[in-house]
C-alpha cells in the first residue's frame, strides 16, 4: 500500500496509478515445468520421477503441482500447493492413493492447521500452528533458500522454523553453506539444514541441497523424502533436477520435463 499523497502530488499519483493498473493488466500468466529424478540415498536405486508445474503471474508464484510417477509409469502420488497466504508456507495437499495417505496444510482466516491421515480408514490428525518468520513448509523451503541466498553464500547461518505436516510438528532448523561443487559442468553451492537444538525422541537427518550459484535453481536434494516404501514408511532420497532425463527414468515411462501444452 502507498502512503496517502499530498494534494500537490495528485497528478503524479494519478499517473503512477495508471501505470500500475496497466502493468498489472498485462502481467502474463506462465507455467514453468521441470522434472526431478528420485533415487534411494543408500543404494542409489531409481524409484520415481517428480513432474513439477509451477504457475506464475508475472514473477509471483501462485501455485505448484507435482505428479509422482513410479517405476512402472503409473502415478503414485500427487501434490498441489498454493502460495496465496505466504511465499514460504504454502497450503498444500499430498495424496498417496495406494496407502490412502494424505497430509498437508490448511489456512482459514488467522488459523493455520497441519493435517495428516495415515490410511483411508484412519482418523485425520491435526495441529494448529502460527507463522513465525523465517519459516517454511514443504516446497516453500526452496523459496526460503532463495530469499536467504545472499546471507547463506556470505557464510552466515540462517535459523528458521519448518512446519512438518507429516510429523505434526514445527521444527527448529538452521541452514548454512557447507561447500561448493559442480553440477552438469557448472559451479554450484551446497547448503545443509540441520536441527537447531536437540529434541528428545525426535530425529531428523540433515538435509543437503545443491543450488546453481548464478540462477539459484535447485539442482539436487539429499534427505528424507515424502514417498513411502513397501512398508509405508518414508525413506532418505536423492532427487536430482537434471536437464536431461536419465535412461532409467525414460525406460520407466517418466513424463517429459516440458509442460503438457508445450509438448
Calculate the average pLDDT of the chain.
Answer: 88
Q: Is the pLDDT of residue 47 over 70?
A: yes
Buried-state track 161-177, b at ≥16 Cβ within 10 A, e below 16: bbbbbebeebbebebeb
In SS3 terms, the chain reads as CCCCCCHHHHHHHHHHHHHHHHHHHCCCEEEEEEEEEEEECCCCCEEEEEEEEEEEECCEEEEEEEEEEECCCCEEEEEEEECCCCCCCCEEEEEECCCCEEEEEEEECCEEEEEEECCCCCCCEEEEECCCCCEECCCHHHHHHHHCHHHHHCCCCEEEEEEEHHHCEEEEEEEEEEEEEEECCEEEEEEEEEECCCCCCCCCCCEEEEEECCCCCEEEEEEEEEEECCCCCEEEEEEECCCCCCHHHHHCCCCCCCCHHHC
Q: Is the pLDDT of residue 6 over 80?
A: no
Q: Where are the domains of the chain?
A: 32-254
Tell me the pLDDT tens digit for each residue of 107-117.
999 999 999 99
Tell me the pLDDT tens digit for each residue of 108-143.
999 999 999 999 999 999 999 999 999 999 999 999
CATH of 32-254, picked from 1.10.150, 1.10.287, 3.10.20, 2.40.360, is 2.40.360
How confident is the model at residue 108, as a pLDDT? Answer: 96
Vertex 148, ends 145 and 151: CA angle to 5°? 130
Amino acid at each position: 500500500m502507498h502512503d496517502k499523497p499530498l494534494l500537490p502530488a495528485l497528478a503524479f499519483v494519478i499517473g503512477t496509478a495508471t501505470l500500475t493498473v496497466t502493468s498489472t493488466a498485462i502481467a502474463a500468466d506462465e507455467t514453468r515445468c521441470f522434472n526431478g529424478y528420485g533415487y534411494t540415498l543408500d543404494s542409489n536405486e531409481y524409484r520415481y520421477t517428480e513432474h513439477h508445474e509451477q504457475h506464475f503471474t508475472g514473477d509471483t508464484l501462485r501455485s505448484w503441482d507435482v505428479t509422482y510417477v513410479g517405476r512402472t509409469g503409473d502415478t503414485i502420488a500427487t501434490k498441489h500447493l498454493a502460495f496465496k497466504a505466504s511465499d514460504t508456507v504454502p497450503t498444500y495437499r499430498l495424496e498417496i492413493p495406494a496407502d490412502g495417505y494424505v497430509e498437508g496444510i490448511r489456512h482459514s482466516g488467522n488459523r493455520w492447521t497441519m493435517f495428516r491421515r495415515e490410511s483411508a480408514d484412519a482418523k485425520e490428525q491435526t495441529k494448529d500452528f502460527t507463522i513465525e518468520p523465517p519459516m517454511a513448509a514443504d516446497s516453500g523451503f526452496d523459496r526460503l533458500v532463495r530469499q536467504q541466498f545472499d546471507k547463506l553464500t556470505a557464510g552466515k547461518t540462517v535459523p528458521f522454523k519448518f512446519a512438518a505436516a507429516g510429523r505434526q510438528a514445527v521444527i527448529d532448523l538452521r541452514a548454512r553453506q557447507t561447500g561448493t561443487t559442480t553440477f552438469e559442468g557448472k559451479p554450484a553451492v551446497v547448503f545443509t539444514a540441520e536441527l537447531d537444538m536437540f529434541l528428545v525422541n525426535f530425529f531428523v537427518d540433515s538435509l543437503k541441497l545443491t543450488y546453481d550459484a548464478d540462477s539459484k535453481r535447485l539442482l539436487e536434494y539429499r534427505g528424507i523424502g515424502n514417498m513411502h516404501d513397501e512398508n509405508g514408511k518414508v525413506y532418505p532420497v536423492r532427487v536430482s533436477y537434471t536437464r536431461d532425463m536419465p535412461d532409467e527414468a525414460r525406460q520407466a515411462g517418466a513424463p517429459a520435463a516440458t509442460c503438457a501444452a508445450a509438448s
